[in-house]
């Protein structure tokens, strides 16, 4: 089989992954998502992989990998297996590209820098994404005509056909996304000689036997793109998705520097105990708990608040001083 090496080997059991990007230290928002992911794994007996997504090369910060591992442990989260860094073996991504090229659904494309940047990493909210319309495909591209993946130093885009992708999200509910109308032909391989986030995540989830993806709901639209890739690569079934609301600043924007230092390392350095951090994250999920284990016992996805969480100065004071 053409894509045999990346095909899913029958997983012994349901499997999820904690997939931090080592592009900066984990903040309270990432921590809440990881805590929920880990608790769901505990409740359902899923295997937990730790996968460091280090293919965002220009943005990877030195020391961030060790720090992410360390801070997840400090929170009381664990995993059954740590899988190699994405950058350790590029061959599975190349194989996926060769398969897409043989199907005549990808083409090389030269673009502006800003488009390349937007397409290369997980398009978290706030990062502008431009639609790439089919009219901009190169004249030499014929949909469905087998081609070769013969250059790694240019962007390659997937020719997205019109139509909606439907899936059921375990928290966000029924989804219907028209990828061709929203982002159009998205980048699957970047001029840096690496797969884009969208391709890397599908290849990794498939070969690592991931059946459960839990993450922030800014990636809901990405799930539709990933499902398209699963189907084209023939590595399905796609995982079950659980996209949960984000933690935002008081201004409603996603947590960032402007909201003060919300990194877990900052609170740990100030002497804030992990119990207090878990206490805050748990309250944002509608339960009381002081350890990850307690949280896993108390948490209920069905009653988790459906709104985004707003992180305020009151929360900050409570974390640092223990005051309301
Ligand atoms: N590494 C991605 C991020 O930190 C997560 C991607 C995913 O869970 O699919 O945004």
Distance 275 CA to ligand 1 centre (A): 25
Task: Report the range of poorest mean pLDDT among 4-13, 107-116, 184-193, 199-208.
Answer: 4-13
Q: Whose CA is nearest to atom 10 of ligand 1?
A: 122
Confidence tier at 256 by pLDDT (50, 70, 90): confident
The DSSP secondary-structure symbol of 160 reads: P
CB under 8 Å to 237, separation ≥6 — which residues? Answer: 230
Asked whether the predicted pLDDT for residue 1 surpasses 50, the reply is: no
Cβ of 243 closer than 6 Å to ligand 1, yes or no, is no
- The matching CATH number, chosen from 3.20.20.80, 3.90.800.10, 3.60.15.10, 3.40.50.620, for 91-200 is 3.90.800.10
The ranges assigned to domains in the chain are 91-200
Q: What is the pLDDT of residue 116?
A: 46
pLDDT at residue 323 is higher than 50: yes
Round the average pLDDT of the chain to a whole number and report it: 91
Tell whether ligand 1 has an atom less than 6 A from the beta carbon of residue 122. yes
Most informative mutation of 16, 18, 20 for ligand 1 (most atoms within 8 A of CB): 20
pLDDT score recorded for residue 112: 73
Residue 315 DSSP code: H
Among 40, 215, 222, name the best residue to mutate to test ligand 1's pocket (greatest count of ligand atoms within 8 A of Cβ): 215
Nearest to 43 by CA among 298, 296, 303: 296
Report the alpha-carbon distance of residue 143 to residue 154 in Å, rounded.
19
| CA–CA separation, 215 and 171 (whole Å) | 11
Q: Where are the beta strands (DSSP E) in 132-177?
A: 155-158, 165-169, 173-177
Give the distance (Å) from ligand 1 centre to CA of residue 144. Answer: 31
Nearest to 277, CA basis, from 286, 268, 269, 285: 268
Question: How far apart are the C-alpha atoms of 271 and 285, rounded to whole Å?
Answer: 24
Helices in the chain by DSSP H: which ranges?
28-44, 64-75, 91-102, 113-120, 179-182, 197-207, 220-233, 264-269, 274-283, 292-298, 313-321
Q: Could you tell me the distance, in angstroms and rounded to a whole number, from the CA of residue 122 to the centre of ligand 1?
A: 6
Question: In angstroms, what is the span from residue 141 Cα to ligand 1's centroid?
Answer: 31
Contact 169, 215 (CB under 8 A): no
Q: What pLDDT is stored for residue 8 in this prediction?
A: 61
What average pLDDT does the segment 223-252 reach? Answer: 95
Percentage of the chain exceeding pLDDT 70: 91
Tell the residue number behind the tokens 């159009």, with chain if given.
184
For the record, the structure tokens of 224 come out as: 């539709």
For 70-127, write each residue's pLDDT tens digit.
Answer: 999 999 999 999 999 999 999 999 999 999 999 999 999 986 766 645 655 677 766 6
Signed CA dihedral, 246, 250, 255, 260: sign only:
negative
Instruction: State pLDDT tens for residues 16-56.
Output: 999 998 887 899 999 999 999 999 999 999 999 999 999 87
The Cα 300–Cα 222 span in angstroms is 25
Q: Write out pLDDT tens, residues 273-307.
A: 999 999 999 999 999 999 999 999 999 999 999 99
Can you give the pLDDT at residue 2? 45
Q: Please check whether residue 206 is in contact with residue 6, taking contact to mean a CB–CB distance below 8 angstroms.
A: yes
Q: In what order do the strands lie in the sheet with 15-18?
A: 81-82, 47-50, 15-18, 212-216, 240-244, 165-169, 173-177
Calculate how far, in angstroms, residue 17's C-alpha sits from the geometric centre of ligand 1: 10
Supply the pTM of this predicted model: 0.92
- 173-177 and 240-244: which strand pairing? unpaired
Of the residues 17, 53, 241, which should be mutated to test ligand 1's pocket, given the most ligand atoms within 8 Å of the CB?
53
258-270, pLDDT tens digit by residue? 888 999 999 999 9
* Ligand 1 atom at shortest distance from the alpha carbon of 201: 9
**pLDDT value of residue 58:** 73
User: In sequence order, what are the residues at sequence separation of 6 or more whose Cβ sits closer than 8 angstroms to the Cβ of residue 114?
Assistant: none
**Ligand 1 close to Cβ of residue 27 (< 6 A):** no
Distance separating alpha carbons of residues 295 and 292, to the nearest angstrom: 5
Which residue's CA is the nearest one to ligand 1's atom 9?
A: 201
Ligand 1 centre distance from Cα of residue 124 (Å) = 9
Dihedral angle sign, alpha carbons of residues 175, 184, 237, 23: negative
Asked whether 217 lines ligand 1 (CB < 6 A), one says: no
């Amino acid at each position: 089989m053409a894509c045999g090496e990346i095909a899913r080997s029958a997983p012994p059991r349901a499997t999820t992954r904690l997939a931090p990007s080592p592009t900066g230290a984990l903040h309270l928002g990432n921590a809440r998502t990881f805590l929920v992911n880990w608790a769901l794994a505990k409740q359902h007996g899923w295997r937990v992989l730790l996968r460091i997504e280090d293919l965002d090369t220009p943005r990877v910060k030195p020391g961030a990998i060790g720090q992410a591992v360390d801070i997840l442990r400090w929170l009381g989260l664990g995993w059954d297996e740590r899988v190699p860094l994405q950058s350790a073996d590029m061959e599975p991504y190349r194989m996926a590209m060769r398969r897409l090229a043989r199907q005549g659904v990808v083409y090389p494309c030269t673009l502006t820098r800003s488009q390349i940047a937007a397409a290369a990493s997980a398009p978290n909210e706030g990062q502008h994404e431009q639609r790439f319309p089919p009219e901009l495909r190169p004249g030499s591209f014929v949909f469905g005509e087998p081609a070769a993946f013969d250059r790694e130093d240019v962007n390659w885009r997937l020719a997205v056909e019109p139509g909606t992708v439907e899936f059921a999200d375990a928290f966000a509910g029924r989804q219907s996304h028209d990828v061709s109308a929203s982002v159009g032909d998205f980048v699957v391989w970047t001029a840096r000689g690496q797969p884009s986030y969208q391709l890397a995540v599908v290849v990794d989830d498939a070969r690592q036997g991931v059946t459960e993806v839990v993450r922030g709901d800014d990636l809901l639209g990405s799930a539709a793109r990933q499902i398209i890739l699963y189907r084209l690569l023939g590595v399905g079934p796609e995982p079950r998705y659980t996209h949960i609301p984000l933690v935002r600043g008081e201004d409603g924007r996603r947590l960032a520097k402007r909201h003060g230092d919300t990194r877990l390392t900052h609170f740990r350095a100030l002497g804030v105990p992990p119990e207090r951090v878990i206490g805050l994250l748990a309250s944002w999920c509608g339960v009381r708990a002081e350890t990850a284990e307690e949280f896993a016992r108390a948490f209920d996805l069905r009653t988790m608040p459906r709104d985004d969480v707003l992180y305020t100065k009151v929360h900050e004071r409570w974390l640092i001083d223990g005051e309301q």
